């Protein structure tokens, strides 16, 4: 049976440098093309943490060392990372498709994700971005630019931005058209460029949208059958790393919410994945989310492994 699948790639599917990334995406392309070869429609989303950090840091350093180099706003850094990662991903997937004599176009859509500028996340920014600064430099940036700066584990001060929830995808009709015409689409990279609507304008706002939540929103908009959130482990576990560790094959939304309340999932890793999976599974009857490793994606769809989150 042909399913429409949104695949959310984790950081382990991408490299930290351009050279690493070219090698990593070649490996990543194979299981993605396996899903396409199985007859599924596949839309790809991905993270961008190391990449957007590298771009932001490079622009910070360049602007501090040369008056001729402007500071780069954070939404623009996100856009750059989408293009850079998409360029490598689409070429690797295209190559793998052609190796299998599959003539399917692949395209990256630089994607804006709409957020509510009054989202409560803006009241408590938590995501560190960019360079480290001394206390004096941080205070100057706070005064002159209105940045929110926080001390980061004894290493200096860094700017922090909010992580609001996605409410819509600006390029959804373009993405739908490409998918409906049997093209492989890479979208909402790094959670998308955060924007808010003001009349006919979309205005970039410094923030980081969680890529798993953005992937869930895109899957919901595209009426996907599956959201696959790829991570470093094959299944979700409770009591992870303890003697009574238990790997889970299926989770109902109620069970997942119970385990969240009990604190089984780490905020920086599995928690957002489980929450995003819940949001997609509960958005419409019959929708399923799967959390598994990249190599096990096809086996997970076949019900052989992974953790399914169902209504």
Which listed residue (11, 53, 156, 204) is catalytic? Answer: 11
How much is the CA Rg of the chain, to the nearest whole Å?
Answer: 20
Give the span between the Cα atoms of 191 and 218, in whole angstroms.
Answer: 10
Beta bridge partners of 252: 310
185-197 in b/e form (b: 16+ CB < 10 A) is: bbbbbbbbbbbbb
Query: In residues, how long is the chain?
Result: 311
Give dist(CA 225, CA 172) in Å, integer.
17
12 is catalytic: yes
C-alpha–C-alpha distance, residues 120 and 165, integer Å: 10
| H helical segments located in 222-268 | 253-261
200 is catalytic: no
The residue from 10, 48, 49, 127 that is catalytic is 127
Catalytic-labelled residue, pool 12, 16, 30, 117 = 12
Is 211 annotated as catalytic? yes
Closest by alpha carbon to 272, among 127, 69, 119, 62? 127
127 an active-site residue?
A: yes
Instruction: Indicate if 11 belongs to the active site.
Output: yes
Active-site residue identified among 172, 217, 273, 288: 273
What does the alpha-carbon distance between residue 142 and residue 159 come to, in Å, rounded to a whole number?
Answer: 9
Q: Select which of 86, 190, 211, 296 is catalytic.
A: 211
Residues that are catalytic: 11-12, 127, 211, 273
């Amino acid at each position: 049976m042909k399913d429409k699948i949104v695949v959310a790639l984790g950081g382990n599917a991408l490299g930290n440098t351009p050279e690493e990334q070219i090698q990593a995406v070649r490996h990543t392309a194979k299981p993605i093309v396996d899903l396409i070869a199985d007859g599924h429609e596949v839309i790809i989303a991905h993270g961008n943490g190391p990449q957007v950090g590298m771009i932001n840091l490079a622009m910070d350093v360049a602007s501090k060392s040369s008056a001729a180099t402007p500071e780069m706003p954070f939404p623009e850094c996100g856009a750059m990372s989408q293009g850079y990662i998409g360029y490598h991903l689409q070429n690797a997937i295209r190559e793998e498709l052609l190796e299998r004599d599959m003539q399917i176009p692949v395209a990256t859509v630089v994607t804006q994700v709409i957020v509510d500028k009054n989202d409560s996340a803006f009241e408590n920014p938590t995501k560190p971005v960019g360079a480290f600064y001394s206390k004096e430099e941080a205070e100057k940036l706070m005064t002159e630019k209105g940045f929110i700066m926080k001390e980061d584990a004894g290493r200096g001060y860094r700017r922090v931005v909010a992580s609001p929830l996605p409410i819509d995808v600006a390029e959804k009709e373009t993405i739908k058209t490409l998918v409906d015409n049997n093209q492989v689409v890479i979208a909402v990279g790094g959670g998308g460029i955060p924007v808010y609507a003001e009349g006919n304008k979309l205005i970039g706002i410094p923030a980081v949208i969680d890529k798993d939540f953005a992937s869930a929103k895109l899957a919901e908009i595209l009426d996907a059958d599956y959201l696959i959130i790829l991570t470093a482990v094959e299944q979700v576990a409770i009591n992870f790393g303890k003697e009574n560790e238990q790997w889970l094959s299926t989770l109902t939304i109620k069970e997942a919410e119970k385990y969240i309340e009990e604190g089984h999932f780490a905020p920086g890793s599995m928690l957002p994945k489980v929450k995003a999976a819940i949001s997609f599974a509960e958005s419409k009857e019959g929708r399923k989310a799967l959390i598994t490793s990249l190599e096990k994606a096809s086996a997970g769809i076949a019900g052989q492994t992974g953790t399914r989150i169902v209504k």
